[in-house]
């Protein structure tokens, strides 16, 4: 059954305590419940007689007080309150004397004579004036003076609900009128005691957090070092500026080789197919590159084991197989096929000339000198031509099986233009129908392109732009001059006339793709370094906050908050400074304006994408502004040597002034922190008794703000986190 909306309850105590409860502590708690300093005044509650502590409460208020008292060991009951018959104004039921006193909500209510009830007796004792209850202490405080009692008065009906905002005067049980409150009093119904935990348990928890945060920060720093060492700042392979090798394949199509891809062009030069090394079951590609009449392509490729092998590949089938069966570990530098096509000649990096059939069976081998420039084999008119290692000589070798590799002669390639230019080395050679082409270069001179007749005589210089490591190849009826450093491929007719350069659109796409991948890899590396660093900074910050919290916990006393129900009379609430809202607004505008200004600057300089990186900083500034605004509230009240601190969230501390600490414009209790500048009290020592307040350090103040979960600390952490995340995004792009 649902409780009736207008049902009221009483809070009754019969002196029973929970097992293990300290009786003296229970007496102090009950005395604090009524705002009493002397525990002797509550002796009547522990005589075993059921005494109502509160009458006519709502269900919510009754359960709240029941839980609070049970938490400290007092066993109470919450019976339903009987509805009373209204009596005429000014008459007391059963002829009992009535007095007027203030209730916790600030309204005036009638109470029975305190002589017949322990509750009224305790309230009467608690509401005596300072001059009546403690004359010695009143003499020590000149500002506290005793006031003469006035005759008891019965308020008029319109005066029964005074306005708390106007700070209504209150009366005690003897009819003594109290001075009005100074400043704005808090909402009494919203107050709740600060949740305190045993200091030792909280200290152990903070120490564990500091240890875990420190360990995480160190582990992330080690991870950053590992990332930097394992993934150095380098691009994705080599930049594909130009083709590593070119070759004409079946159908007069042009094939270009890059480190990890083959680019196939139509006879007209239009792009046809892009073949990655992975499609052939390889991880990388390398020269030499050639093709036979059957459509097979010969190249050097590395598999999963990382070993480079000379392979014959079928591009249509996507399959490659070793060219040599028994010498698969031999690195081949050049290849040429016989005129009949049943033999192939291979030049190995060991300086050996190999002869094999088309099935890969080795037939013969002979020792030769490796060329000075490009490794090249030319089968021409039944002879093998190999450039010499020294001088502009072209070695002539026998290709037959019986005397394979026997050198027959040497040709001297030294046209008139090469002699004058000091070009005394052969860089590369090819044969083209009835003419031959060669690139000659000296040890310290630039290279030159020359065209020879069918007998390698009458060399003619051909104007050409030759880059480093330029090489020659044939395509259709033209001669190509290419270089791995130049994306342009020069074309020359058989007569030596230069045509328009060939520029592959596929090669341009590969360069663009390489740049994108390199930038992405650099961004990922920066992000991979920056993110652990950011997390390490967060871990270090958490460890630092835990450390300062430990220091604050050691600086603050292990006090417990007394109950403020009912509110003790005579509390003077300090007025707030009128400029605190303006300062919070100015700070919020400064933070948000800084983020907007930074985003606008990057928008104008680098574009909108960079400006979006400042979105976390903007959101953090807005969140900090909200946190600062929510943390500007609070109340400070003074009652002789007692103090009441009410924070932004309605949590309060009520206890001796000796439990307070001050630092840099903050008043800190074990569980509450209130900024003094919000009350215009920059110098608290001139307002309060300096002997009752202890000064703490700046680090302990930050720890206290964290322990009390103050929004201002959360606001600054939001600002710091937002700007750090924005910096991380800028580094990533």
Q: What is the pLDDT of residue 218?
A: 93
Q: Give the per-residue pLDDT at 84.
A: 54
Q: Walk along the chain (733 residues) in steps of 10 and give the mean pLDDT of each run.
A: 71 88 83 76 84 86 84 87 55 36 34 43 42 34 34 35 35 37 64 74 87 92 86 75 92 92 93 93 91 90 85 91 75 84 86 87 88 88 88 89 87 88 90 89 86 88 88 92 92 92 92 87 82 88 89 79 66 73 83 90 82 89 88 80 84 83 84 79 51 76 86 90 85 70
Q: How many CB atoms lie within 10 A of CB 398?
A: 16
State the distance between the two ends of the chain, measured CA to CA, in whole angstroms: 64
Q: How many Cα atoms within 13 Å fall on the side-chain side of residue 670?
A: 22
Q: How many angstroms separate the CA atoms of 730 and 733, rounded?
A: 5
Tell me the pLDDT tens digit for each residue of 375-419.
899 888 888 999 988 889 999 998 888 889 898 889 999 898 888
Residues 459, 47: Cα–Cα separation, whole Å: 130
**Kindly report the CA angle at 231 between 230 and 236, in degrees rounded to 5?**
145
Which neighbouring-strand residues pair with 663?
Answer: 666
- Cα(536)–Cα(400) distance, integer angstroms: 72
Taking the C-alpha atoms of residue 557 and residue 692, their distance in angstroms, rounded to an integer, is 13
Please tell me the predicted confidence (pLDDT) of residue 360.
Answer: 82
CA dist list (Å): 279 to 285, 325, 374: 12, 23, 28
Rounded-to-integer distance, Cα 394 and Cα 376, Å = 11
User: Judging by DSSP bridges, how do beta strands 253-258 and 261-265 pair with one another?
Assistant: antiparallel
Q: Which residue is it, tokens 């390639």?
A: 413
Residue 16's H or E segment, with its range, is strand 9-17
**Distance separating alpha carbons of residues 552 and 546, to the nearest angstrom:** 10
Helix axes 711-732, 505-555, angle to 10 degrees: 160
User: Which two tokens mark 354?
Assistant: 């190999």
Contact partners, residue 588, CB within 8 Å, separation at least 6: 621, 624, 625, 628, 629
In the three-class reduction of DSSP (H, G, I as helix; E, B as strand; rest coil), residue 391 is classed as coil
In the beta sheet, which residues pair with residue 425? 441
The predicted pLDDT at position 498 comes to 93
Strands 642-646 and 651-656: antiparallel
Q: Residue with structure tokens 């960079």?
A: 610
3-state secondary structure 655-689: EEHHHEEEECCEEECCCCEEEHHHHCCCCHHHCCC
282/78 Cα distance (integer angstroms)? 83
**pLDDT for 347:** 92
**CA-CA-CA-CA dihedral for 251, 474, 462, 488, to nearest 10:** 80
Name the strand (E) or helix (H) holding 704: helix 698-707
Residue 257 per-residue DSSP state: E
* Three-state secondary structure call for residue 440: strand
Strand intervals (E) in 579-656? 635-639, 642-646, 651-656
Residue 343 host element (H or E) = strand 343-348
Residues in the chain: 733
Q: What interhelical angle do 580-606 and 711-732 show, nearest 10?
A: 0
Residue 321, strand partner residues: 312
Q: Yes or no: say if 371 and 384 are a contact pair by the CB < 8 Å rule.
A: no
Give kind and range of the element (H or E) at residue 246.
strand 245-249
Closest CA to 384 of 420, 338, 449, 350: 338
Helix axes 711-732, 615-630, angle to 10 degrees: 180
pLDDT tens figures, 671-700: 888 888 777 665 554 445 445 677 888 888
What the block records as the tokens of 530 is: 């920056």
The per-residue pLDDT for 214 is 93
CA distance 245 to 242: 9
Q: What pLDDT was estimated at residue 692? A: 61
Closest among 629, 656, 472, 571 to 179, alpha carbons compared = 571
What element of type H or E holds 380?
Answer: strand 378-380
- How does strand 192-193 pair with strand 651-656? parallel
Please name the residue that has the structure tokens 């300290």: 22
For residue 111, what pLDDT is reported?
Answer: 37
């Amino acid at each position: 059954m649902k409780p009736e909306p207008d049902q009221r309850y009483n809070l009754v105590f019969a002196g029973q305590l929970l097992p293990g409860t300290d009786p003296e502590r229970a007496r102090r708690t009950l005395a604090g419940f009524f705002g009493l300093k002397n525990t002797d005044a509550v002796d009547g509650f522990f005589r075993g007689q059921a005494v109502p502590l509160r009458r006519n409460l709502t269900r919510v208020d009754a359960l709240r007080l029941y839980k609070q008292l049970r938490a400290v060991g007092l066993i109470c009951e919450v019976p339903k309150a009987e509805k009373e018959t209204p009596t005429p104004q000014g008459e007391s039921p059963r002829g009992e004397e009535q007095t007027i006193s203030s209730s916790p909500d600030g309204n005036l209510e009638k109470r029975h004579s305190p002589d017949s009830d322990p509750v009224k007796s305790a309230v009467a004792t608690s509401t005596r004036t300072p001059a009546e209850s403690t004359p010695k202490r009143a003499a020590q405080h000149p500002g506290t003076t005793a006031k003469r009692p006035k005759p008891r008065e019965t308020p008029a009906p319109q005066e029964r609900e005074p306005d708390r905002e106007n700070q209504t005067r209150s009366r005690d049980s003897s009819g003594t009128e109290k001075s009005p409150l100074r400043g704005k009093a808090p909402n009494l119904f919203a107050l709740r005691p600060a949740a305190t935990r045993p200091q030792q348990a909280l200290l152990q928890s903070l120490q564990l957090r500091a240890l875990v945060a420190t360990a995480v920060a160190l582990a992330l720093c080690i991870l950053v070092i590992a990332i930097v060492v394992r993934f150095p700042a380098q691009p994705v392979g080599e930049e594909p500026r130009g083709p590593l090798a070119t070759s004409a394949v079946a159908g007069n199509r042009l094939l270009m080789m890059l480190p990890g891809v083959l680019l196939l062009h139509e006879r007209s030069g239009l792009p046809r197919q892009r073949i990655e090394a992975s499609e052939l079951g390889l991880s990388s590609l390398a020269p030499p590159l050639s093709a036979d009449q059957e459509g097979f392509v010969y190249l050097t490729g590395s598999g999963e084991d990382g070993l480079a092998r000379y392979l014959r590949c079928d591009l249509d089938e996507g399959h490659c197989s070793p060219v040599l069966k028994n010498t698969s570990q031999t690195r081949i530098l050049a290849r040429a096929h016989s005129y009949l096509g049943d033999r192939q000649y291979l030049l190995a990096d060991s300086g050996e000339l190999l002869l094999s059939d088309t099935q890969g069976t080795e037939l013969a081998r002979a020792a030769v000198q490796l060329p000075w420039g490009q490794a090249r084999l030319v089968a021409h008119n039944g002879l093998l031509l190999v450039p010499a290692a020294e001088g502009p000589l072209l070695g002539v070798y026998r290709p037959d099986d019986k005397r394979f590799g026997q050198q027959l002669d040497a040709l001297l390639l030294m046209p008139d233009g090469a002699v004058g230019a000091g070009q005394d080395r052969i860089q590369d050679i090819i044969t083209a129908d009835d003419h031959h082409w060669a690139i000659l270069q000296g040890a310290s001179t630039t290279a030159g392109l020359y065209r020879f007749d069918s007998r390698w005589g009458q060399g003619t210089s051909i104007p050409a732009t030759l880059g480093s490591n330029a090489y020659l190849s044939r395509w259709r009826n033209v001669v190509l001059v290419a270089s791995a450093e130049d994306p342009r491929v020069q074309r020359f007719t058989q007569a030596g006339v230069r045509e328009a350069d060939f520029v592959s659109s596929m090669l341009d796409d590969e360069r663009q793709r390489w740049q994108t991948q390199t930038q992405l890899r650099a961004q990922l590396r920066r992000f991979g370094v920056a993110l652990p660093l950011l997390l390490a900074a967060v871990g270090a910050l958490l460890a630092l906050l835990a450390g300062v919290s430990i220091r604050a916990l050691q600086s603050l006393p292990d006090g417990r908050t007394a109950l403020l129900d009912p509110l003790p009379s005579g509390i003077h609430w300090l007025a707030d400074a009128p400029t605190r809202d303006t300062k919070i607004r100015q700070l919020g505008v400064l933070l948000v304006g800084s983020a907007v200004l930074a985003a606008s600057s990057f928008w104008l300089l680098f574009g909108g994408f960079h400006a979006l990186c400042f979105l976390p900083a903007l959101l953090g500034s807005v969140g900090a502004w909200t946190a600062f605004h929510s943390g500007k509230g609070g109340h400070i009240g003074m009652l002789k040597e007692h103090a009441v601190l009410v924070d932004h969230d309605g949590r309060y501390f009520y206890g001796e002034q000796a439990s307070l600490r001050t630092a840099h414009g903050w008043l800190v209790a074990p569980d509450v922190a209130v900024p003094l500048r919000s009350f215009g009290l920059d110098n608290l020592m001139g307002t309060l008794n300096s002997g009752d307040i202890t000064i703490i350090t700046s680090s302990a103040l930050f720890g206290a703000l964290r322990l009390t979960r103050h929004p201002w600390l959360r606001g600054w952490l939001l600002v710091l986190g937002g700007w750090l995340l924005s910096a991380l995004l800028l580094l990533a792009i």
